[in-house]
Chain A
Amino acid sequence: MTDPDIGSLETEMNRGFLQILVLALLEKDMYGYSMVKHIERLGYKVEENTLYPLLRRLEKNGLVGSKWDLGEDRPRKFYAITAAGRALRTSLLGVWKNQNRILSEINKENIDAQ
């Protein structure tokens, strides 16, 4: 039997993960390019053309705010998490921790059964 292609499944998993990741990352103000590079340094890759639409959706829902900084040699748009974003992040991290615990327990059961 060949290994299943995880590409599309990984994309689906990443969709939720990316939202928590961005909300976690924006505890301090960051602009898009710096977020991409920061995430890359942590060993994960985010498509740049995926990040900006996500930021826009989060902003539309009041979870992040943004402002343009025109002081540098080129304009940069900085994003920051809002109070609503922090509340959501806490809830999402709770969901993620619970999912993680469930998978760990099932994994442990499987190892014990072998």
Chain B
Amino acid sequence: MAIIEVNHLTKEYQLGHLTSLKETALNTMRRLALQPVHERERFKALDDVNFHINEGEVVGIIGHNGAGKSTLLKHLANISKPTKGEVIVKGSVAPLIEVGAGVNPELTGRENIYLNGAILGIPKKIIQQKLDEIIDFSELEQFIDTPVKRYSSGMTVKLGFSIATSMEADILIIDEVLAVGDLAFQRKCFDRMEDLIRRQGKTVLLVSHNIRQIERLCNRVILLSKGSVIGDGDANSLCAKFYQANDKKNKH
């Protein structure tokens, strides 16, 4: 049963600044003079993307920079709306897209756990139950009552990740956040991911440039290039194809 359906998804952005007063006035004059109007250039971030994801699948999304991976994830997390096509998501989504987003530097770590939890939609009771578990995972017991502006960058990220992964949802969307923190923490995050995938059977969408990680965690991979899906299937073969494409690009 498809938990995520993406049908003919197209997303166009307009490049450049919003039309200023000067441009609008000049365009009006051009229209009156029956001359071509200067329109902002359009950029297709996603071009007719189609795929279905079933419950419990672990899908990796790979591609070069600017291929449309984050844009795709934003559509799945309901942050952006498609220009054409539709996105149907049948389940709650936990977006791990830059986990430090809701973390406010003026508040302490503990206050931020409550705030970030509220932003992610976790009911207060559940945050209270899981409070110790979150602080423990983040390894910040000693600093939890200090304002976050005094934390190191690694500490902030550990806090954010810890809060975000305590969110119970059917679908996890992870946008390159496993590459943060020191080696020991990265291992811990990876283990938690594996736990969520194998033992709890969550549907996971993982965007990463760490192809090894993708090969280890995912059984299916979607390869994006310049907004289109150029591969969708077995992880190992598509990752190999991606390596080949990269090698070719570097040879030139």
The answer to whether A binds B is: no
